[in-house]
């Protein structure tokens, strides 16, 4: 059967998608991006915030129209939205044939076969059910980089977050499984591994009795073919000196850390259920920059959390202004039913949320522009992402840039380069968040 597969949401969801694609391909199914050719559609959904839910619902409705017109024989909905709103989806969108919960992605082949056989059997399990891992993946990221999901679920229970209810408690993937998967990815041409989980920093605590991310990183660094390893979603309170030392001393690990802090007001951090305060944030950030002076720090913030007053916002603004993160994103608070924060008093009006978000992003834009200007004259290794159509130029990324979230590097050259090539580039200019550079035959910092 020819299947249209649509993956929404985060990179962790994308790993689930790639496993489902692999299972379907091994069963003889093929894939298409053309709606007119598709015989079946699978939508892997997200429900983390309101915008994600809206995108997921609209996508399902679009596929439902194809189902009604007779183009599609099967419509399968998977992922977080499916887990969270299974009854509503079945009631409101009867064109959906089957639903796969977050821990039932290994039933995707059975779901297609059941629908084609005239049956319907939803596959919904408890979010804390046994993890699905070790499946062959069909990598969709171009082949030169791939995400490695090292754990599932979360134990933090932040008051704004629905993830534990749809993904369950924190559970690590065994280290030998991850090493094998990473080796297979490397054999397939992957040069950059991007480690993801709801929280990567507590990896292994459930399996090995202690935080084992440094040990996992050292194992992955030994895999031939892997040249970059990037860390995302590191909670600040869990960043140990051992982890810092591992990042510092292992040459394959990018000096890049995604560290979501969400706020800087101690009062708001407590209401969020976060397990850190501003003094501790300052200490960890200072420690990271002291030990790894060229580290690139990325963070995310929430504007307009319930009860956030102007003083809280100004405290956060001043914190960002002083700390000068290399990369920063701001989400407006999304009032998600089923979370503790949704029931809190003093919900902030949407207009004020957006005003505060805009102020923070305007400040960050100034910081980012200044940092980009300060990169002029530096020589850095970069990974080629592709050629600019019609020009003697290529798009690349430095260690400071995670794919699809950070900036790009544009290299002007008449030389022929291939996607995934590593080249040395001298930075000659900048344009907003992006950099401009030229090739260097010899690397000198």
Nearest to 184 by CA among 152, 150, 143: 143
SS3 labels along 104-138: CHHHHHHHHHHHHCCCCCCECCCCCCCCCCCCCCC
Residue ranges for the known binding site are 10, 46, 80, 154, 158, 161
Token duo for residue 320: 């960002």
Beta strands in 269-311 (DSSP E): 296-303
CA distances from 217 to 38, 135, 178, 238, 251 (A): 41, 21, 11, 16, 11
Task: Give binding residues for [4Fe-4S] cluster as ranges.
Answer: 10, 46, 80, 154, 158, 161
CB-based contact 434:408 (threshold 8 Å): yes
Tokens linked to 218: 């050292």
Q: What does residue 331 show for φ and ψ, rounded to 5 degrees? A: -105, 140
255, two tokens: 């000096």
């Amino acid at each position: 059967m020819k299947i249209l597969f649509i993956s929404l949401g985060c990179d962790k969801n994308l790993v689930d998608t790639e496993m489902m694609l692999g299972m379907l391909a091994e069963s003889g199914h093929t894939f298409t991006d053309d709606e007119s050719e598709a015989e079946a559609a699978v939508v892997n959904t997200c429900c983390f915030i309101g915008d994600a839910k809206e995108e997921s619902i609209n996508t399902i409705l679009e596929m439902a129209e194809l189902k009604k017109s007779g183009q599609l024989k099967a419509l399968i909905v998977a992922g977080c939205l499916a887990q969270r709103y299974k009854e509503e989806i079945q009631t409101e969108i009867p064109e959906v044939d089957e639903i796969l919960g977050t821990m039932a992605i290994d039933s995707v082949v059975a779901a297609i076969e059941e629908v084609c056989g005239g049956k319907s059997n939803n596959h919904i399990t408890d979010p804390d059910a046994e993890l699905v891992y070790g499946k062959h993946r069909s990598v969709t990221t171009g082949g030169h980089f791939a995400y490695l999901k090292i754990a599932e679920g979360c134990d933090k229970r932040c008051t704004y977050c629905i993830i534990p209810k749809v993904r369950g408690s924190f559970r690590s993937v065994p280290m030998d499984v991850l090493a094998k998967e990473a080796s297979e990815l490397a054999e397939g041409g992957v040069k950059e591994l991007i480690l993801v989980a709801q929280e990567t920093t507590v990896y292994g605590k459930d399996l090995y009795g202690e935080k084992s991310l440094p040990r996992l990183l050292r194992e992955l660094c030994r895999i031939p073919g892997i040249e970059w390893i990037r860390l995302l979603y590191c909670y600040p309170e869990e960043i140990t000196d051992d982890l810092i030392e591992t990042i510092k001393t292992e040459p394959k690990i990018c000096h890049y850390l995604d560290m979501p802090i969400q706020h800087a007001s101690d009062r708001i951090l407590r209401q969020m259920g976060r397990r850190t305060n501003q003094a501790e944030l300052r200490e960890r950030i200072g420690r990271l920059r002291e030990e790894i002076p060229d580290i690139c720090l990325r963070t995310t913030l929430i504007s307009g959390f319930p009860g956030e007053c102007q003083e809280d916002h100004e405290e956060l603004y001043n914190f960002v202004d002083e700390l000068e993160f290399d990369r920063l994103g701001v989400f407006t608070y999304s009032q998600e039913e089923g979370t503790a924060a949704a029931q809190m008093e003093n919900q902030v009006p949407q207009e004020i949320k957006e005003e505060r978000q805009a102020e923070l992003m305007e400040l960050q834009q100034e910081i980012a522009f200044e940092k980009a200007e300060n990169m002029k004259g530096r020589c850095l290794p970069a990974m080629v992402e592709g050629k600019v159509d019609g020009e003697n130029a290529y798009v690349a990324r430095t260690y400071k840039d995670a794919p699809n979230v950070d900036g790009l590097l544009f290299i002007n050259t008449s030389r022929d380069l291939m996607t995934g090539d590593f080249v040395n580039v001298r930075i000659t200019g900048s344009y907003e968040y992006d950099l401009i550079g030229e090739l260097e035959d010899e690397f000198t910092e």
